[in-house]
Chain A
Amino acid sequence: MRDLEQPLAERANAHTVKQNRTVAIAGGVLTVLVGIVILRAAAVQSRDVGKITSLSVELFGLGLILICIGTAISFLASKRCFQPQSPNKKMFNLEQSIEEWRAQMFAAGVKTPVPLEELEIHLRDEVEQHVKSGLAVQRAFEISVPHVGSPELLNNEFKKCEKPLMKQPLKIGLVVAGIFAGAALTVPGDIQLRDELVVANGRLGLYLLGWVLIVWSLQQGLRQAILPKGSKVKFENLKMTMGKQPVKTGAGIVVLLIGVALMLPAAAQVCSEGLMRFEALCGMVFGIGLLWAGTLVTFWPYEKRKA
């Protein structure tokens, strides 16, 4: 049975790398497209005003940067840095592998030193036992890691040991109250937006604060809805290769950058005119969404679901 685990893990690994490469190429192309759209916006703005303004220069620069980043990501994704690593090409290093395992645990949320240290000692004991019984260190490590358990599952179990700060109904109540409060704060801005197609003066601050509150409350609500179910999902550990984590982080950063890029025109409008027009506001809201999604992708721990 265990002999079958290795090829299966390798196949899953290769499949994941292929998926990651596709995602990275798509992310790169998307970044280039956004860059082109921003360049076009800069050109349209210059044409409408009749001269090159500082805003159009900024937009032009941003568009070029995004095109460069997108091209670089697409190029790198199609090259060797996203190839799956062959285990035979590299000498196995137990200490480095344990470091990587610790990083995975840390990323999953097992952050307090005591459980992590205990788990590491357990892992070392298990590896030592397998080595004594005649296995190679690398094979002993590969067998021992799943025995210790998946980071997500362990983190969920350790969380149960902590005393909850607030009871579930209170948390849900706060999330609902946050959404309503946020919606209430956006009402004056909504009315102005409907009547004048702009949000200006004191209403702009309230409008943005309202949206921040809504997004934050939704995020908290989603965490409440998703995390308790996390313990029921089975995960398996996959050793992190050089290709996987950078692809995920890179894609997250690209999404973050796009989010920032979409928010810039609105920010520039607020700085220069003290108001925000409808188009810029749409970009701002979409940009906040992307910023949020990008942060999630960048910092979400890498795990492969069990098939």
Chain B
Amino acid sequence: MITKELVAASTEPLILSLLAGGENYGYALTQEVKRLSGDKISWTDGMLYPVLHRMEHRGLIKSRWGESESGRKRKYYSLKKDGKTAMAKHHEQWSLVHSVLAGLRKGQYA
């Protein structure tokens, strides 16, 4: 399992990256993260919504109410222009951290 701190830090970049693939709703986002991480990233599901609302307040994403195929009301979220910029920044920063860690690891095992 990934630590709580890392999960919290990665929530925003993960949401932005998932929404880059098209608009989606909260439950589907949590399921997608579970699937992609092999159940290793575990969000307290309800905690996703305050994060989504904060991101919406900051102008990174926007939302609209719609209906699912089963007729259930859903709130769909999608990326805004600022969200795309933020996502690019996150990718850059996480890639940097990853490359530093990978380099250090290589040095240790060389």
A124 within 8 A of B: yes
Closest CB pairs A-B (n = 4)? A149-B46, A157-B50, A125-B27, A148-B46
Taking the nearest CB of chain A, how far is it from the CB of B41, in angstroms?
14
Which residues of chain A from 139 to 176 have a CB within 8 Å of any chain B CB?
147-149, 153-154, 157-158, 160-161
- Is B35 in contact with chain A by the CB < 8 A criterion? no
Q: Interface 1/0s, chain B 44-59, versus A by CB < 8 A?
A: 1111011101100100
A160 lies within 8 A of B50 (CB): yes
Chain A residues with CB below 8 A from B73, complex form: 117, 121
Q: In the complex, what distance in Å separates the CA atom of A157 from the CA atom of B75?
A: 19
C-alpha spacing A148/B57, complex, angstroms: 22
List of A residues within 8 angstroms of B51 by Cβ: 157
Indicate if B26 sits at the interface (CB-CB under 8 A): yes
Residue of A147, A149, A153, A161 near B57 (CB, 8 A) is A161
Task: Decide if B53 touches A124 in the complex (CB within 8 Å).
Answer: no
Residues of chain B at interface, number, CB under 8 A: 17
Residues of A within 8 A of B74 (CB): 121
List chain B residues, Cβ under 8 A from A5: none
A119 close to chain B: CB less than 8 A? yes
Which of A114, A117, A124, A154 makes the CB contact (< 8 A) with B46? A154
- Please measure, in the bound complex, the distance between the C-alpha atom of A114 and the C-alpha atom of B49, giving whole angstroms: 10
A122 within 8 A of B: yes
Total contacts A-B at CB 8 Å = 56
What residues of chain A lie closer than 8 Å to B106, measured between beta carbons?
A: none
Check A149–B26 contact: CB distance below 8 A.
no
- Give A83-142 interface residues, CB cut-off 8 Å to B: 114-115, 117-119, 121-122, 124-126
22 A-B pairs with C-beta separation under 8 A = A115-B49, A115-B50, A118-B26, A118-B75, A119-B49, A121-B74, A122-B26, A122-B30, A122-B49, A125-B27, A126-B27, A147-B46, A149-B44, A153-B44, A153-B46, A154-B46, A154-B50, A157-B47, A157-B50, A157-B51, A160-B50, A161-B57
Using CB atoms and an 8 Å cutoff, list the residues of chain A in contact with chain B.
114-115, 117-119, 121-122, 124-126, 147-149, 153-154, 157-158, 160-161
- Distance of A160 Cα from B74 Cα, bound (Å): 23
| Cβ A126 vs Cβ B72 within 8 A | no
Nearest chain-B residue to A119 (Cβ)?
Answer: B46
CA of A114 to CA of B54, assembled, Å: 14
Nearest-Cβ distance from residue A258 to partner chain B, whole angstroms = 38
A211→B98 CA distance, assembly (Å): 60
Complex-state Cα separation, A35 to B45, whole angstroms: 50
Interface centre among B50, B53, B74 (most CB of A within 10 A): B50
| Given pairs A121-B75, A149-B45, A161-B53, 10 additional interface contacts (CB within 8 A) | A115-B53, A117-B73, A119-B46, A119-B49, A121-B73, A122-B26, A122-B46, A148-B46, A160-B50, A160-B54
Contacting residues of chain B (7-55) with chain A, CB-CB under 8 angstroms: 26-27, 30, 44-47, 49-51, 53-54
Partner of A118, one of B30, B44, B49, B57: B49
- State how many angstroms separate the Cβ of B43 from the closest Cβ of chain A: 9
